[in-house]
Amino acid sequence: MRQFHTIVVGAGPGGLTCAEVLARHGKDVLVLEKNRLVGPKVCAGGITWAGLIQYVDESLIEKSFYAQHIVSGWQNIMIRESTPIVATVNRERLGQWMVDRATAAGVNVLRGTAVREIFKNHISTAGEERFGYKYLVGADGSSSIVRRYLGIGSERVGAGIHYQVPGDFKRMEWHLDTRSFRTGYAWIFPHKDSASVGVFGDRRVIRPKELMAGFREWTQRRGINLKGLQPKAALINFDYRGWRFGNKFLVGDAAGLASGLTGEGILPAILSGETAAHTIIDENYNGEKLERLIHKQQKHTRLLEFSAKNRRAGRLIIEALIMAMRLGVIHFSALEMGESG
Ligand SMILES: Cc1cc2nc3c(=O)[nH]c(=O)nc-3n(C[C@H](O)[C@H](O)[C@H](O)COP(=O)(O)OP(=O)(O)OC[C@H]3O[C@@H](n4cnc5c(N)ncnc54)[C@H](O)[C@@H]3O)c2cc1C
C-alpha cells in the first residue's frame, strides 16, 4: 500500500488549495477525485472581489460588477461601489486553473477515483485500491464521506437549483421574495454569454418542489425563457461543527462552511483549505482569518434560524437589512464571507 503524508478527498477549490499549499511545503500529497474532469460543479460562479483578488487569477473573470441589485417584497435597491463587489467565474475553468497549479507544485491528482471507505490510517477506493495517510482532509463537498466517517450529521442543508441561460445579461440581481422562496432567494449572475439564473433555499424550511414551483413562477413573471434548458441542482451544507479532528480535517462544504444566507461557498472552501494545510504543517499556525470567516458564517446561520422560526419577524428583518444597506448603515460586505470594504 502506497503511503502519503496527506490524502485529500475531493478536487474542488477547498481540496486543491489545501493540496497545493502542502506540496509547496514539500509534503507528499495525493488528491482523489471521483470525477474524470476536475472543475464542473453546479454553481452560479459568483465570487466576492475580496476572495477573487486574494486567491484567483483575474484572467478567470467572466464579468465583474460594481453594482448589486437587490429586490424584496417592498424594496428595489441598487448598491454601487468604486471597486467591483462580485465577479463571476466559470467553475470548469477555475477547476482547470487550480488543478494545473496544484500539479505544477507536485500534487498527485488521481481523477475518476472515488473514495469508498475510510479507515484509521488508510482509505480504499471504488476500484479496490488502498492508500495510507498520516493526515486526511475531507474536501469532498456537501455529502462528504469523511464527514460521515467522523460521525458528524448534516441537518442545516440548502438546495440550489440553477439554469445557465444564454444571452447578454447586464445586471447582477438578488431577489429576496419571502413568499416564493421563504428564507432563500433567486439570483441572476451574468457570465460572458449567459447567466446563471437560479434559486437557493433551506431544505428544512421549504421543500425543493415548492422552491422550484416558486422559481418557475418568478422566471415567468420576469420573462426569463427556460424552454429547452435543463436545470441543475445540488446541496449546500452550512451545518458547521468544526474543521479539525486530530489528524483529520474537513474543509469547504464538507465542513459546512458555506453561508446559509447566500450560499457563498467558494471563498470559505479556499480559505479553509489553505488554513488546514498550514495547520498540518505547523500545529500552532494562527488561523485567525478562518476564525473570522466562521464567526461571520455563524452570524448568517443565526439570522437564518431566526427568520425560519419567526416568519413575519424574519421578513421584517430582511426588509430592515435591505433598508440599512440602502441607507449605507450596513455595508454589502455583511452578506459576504470575505473581508472586503
Ligand atoms: C446552485 C448553486 C449555486 C452556487 N453558487 C455559488 C456562488 O455563486 N458563489 C459561491 O461562492 N458559491 C456558490 N455555491 C456553493 C459552492 O459551489 C460550494 O460552496 C463550493 O464549490 C465548495 O467547494 P468545495 O471544494 O468545498 O467542494 P466542491 O466544489 O463540492 O468539491 C468537492 C469535490 O469532491 C469530489 N468528491 C465528492 N465525494 C468524493 C469521493 N467519495 N471520492 C472522491 N471525490 C469525491 C466531488 O466530485 C467534487 O469535485 C453554489 C452552490 C450551488 C448548489
Q: For residue 206, what pLDDT is reported? A: 94
CA 89 to ligand 1 centroid distance, Å: 14
CATH number at residue 155: 3.50.50.60
Quick check: CB of 109 below 6 Å from ligand 1?
no
The answer to the question of residue 341 being in a domain is: no
**Residue ID of nearest Cα to ligand 1 atom 33:** 10
Host domain of residue 55: 2-335
Q: For residue 150, what pLDDT is reported? A: 98
The CA distance from 9 to 211, in Å, is 31
Nearest atom in ligand 1 to the alpha carbon of residue 200 is: 1
In this prediction, residue 308 has a pLDDT band, given cuts at 50, 70 and 90, of confident
Quick check: CB of 330 below 6 Å from ligand 1?
no
Q: Edge-to-edge, what's the strand order for the sheet holding 185-190?
A: 76-80, 67-72, 173-176, 185-190, 194-202, 157-166, 232-237
The CA distance from 189 to 187, in Å, is 6
Q: How many domains does the chain have?
A: 1
The larger pLDDT score, comparing residue 331 to residue 237, is at: 237
The larger pLDDT score, comparing residue 122 to residue 56, is at: 122
The answer to the question of residue 55 being in a domain is: yes
State percent of the chain over pLDDT 90.
Answer: 89
> What is the tens place of the pLDDT at every residue in 69-117?
999 999 999 999 999 999 999 999 999 999 999 999 999 999 999 999 9
Q: Does residue 287 surpass a pLDDT of 50?
A: yes
Looking at residues 302-317, what average pLDDT do you find?
88
Pocket test for ligand 1, best of 253, 257, 297 (most atoms within 8 A of CB): 253
Q: For residue 14, what pLDDT is reported? A: 98
Q: Does residue 317 surpass a pLDDT of 70?
A: yes
Find the Cα–Cα–Cα–Cα dihedral 246, 105, 101, 66, rounded to 10°: 60
Looking at residues 20-43, what average pLDDT do you find?
97
Nearest atom in ligand 1 to the alpha carbon of residue 198 is: 1
The answer to the question of residue 211 being in a domain is: yes
The answer to the question of residue 19 being in a domain is: yes
**What sign does the dihedral 40-45-48-50 (CA atoms) show?**
positive
> What is the tens place of the pLDDT at every residue in 12-21?
999 999 999 9
Q: What is the DSSP string of 62-90?
A: EEEESEEEEEESS-EEEEE-SS-SEEEE-
The answer to the question of residue 98 being in a domain is: yes
The CA distance from 321 to 35, in Å, is 40
The larger pLDDT score, comparing residue 51 to residue 110, is at: 110
In this prediction, residue 311 has a pLDDT band, given cuts at 50, 70 and 90, of confident
Q: Does residue 341 surpass a pLDDT of 80?
A: no
CA 233 to ligand 1 centroid distance, Å: 11
Q: Does residue 288 surpass a pLDDT of 90?
A: yes
Among 236, 221, 222, 94, smallest CA distance to 161 is for 236
Quick check: CB of 11 below 6 Å from ligand 1?
yes
**Residue ID of nearest Cα to ligand 1 atom 26:** 252
In this prediction, residue 52 has a pLDDT band, given cuts at 50, 70 and 90, of confident
The CA distance from 42 to 265, in Å, is 12
The answer to the question of residue 139 being in a domain is: yes
In this prediction, residue 340 has a pLDDT band, given cuts at 50, 70 and 90, of low
Quick check: CB of 114 below 6 Å from ligand 1?
yes
The CA distance from 214 to 165, in Å, is 18
Q: For residue 338, what pLDDT is reported? A: 83
> What is the tens place of the pLDDT at every residue in 214-273?
999 999 999 999 999 999 999 999 999 999 999 999 999 999 999 999 999 999 999 999
Mean pLDDT of the chain: 95
Quick check: CB of 162 below 6 Å from ligand 1?
yes
Pocket test for ligand 1, best of 17, 33, 41 (most atoms within 8 A of CB): 41
CA 180 to ligand 1 centroid distance, Å: 25
The answer to the question of residue 133 being in a domain is: yes
In angstroms, the Cα distances linking 231 to 42, 197, 201 are 10, 10, 15
In this prediction, residue 50 has a pLDDT band, given cuts at 50, 70 and 90, of confident
CA 143 to ligand 1 centroid distance, Å: 10
Quick check: CB of 160 below 6 Å from ligand 1?
yes
> What is the tens place of the pLDDT at every residue in 132-151?
999 999 999 999 999 999 99
The answer to the question of residue 340 being in a domain is: no
In this prediction, residue 333 has a pLDDT band, given cuts at 50, 70 and 90, of confident
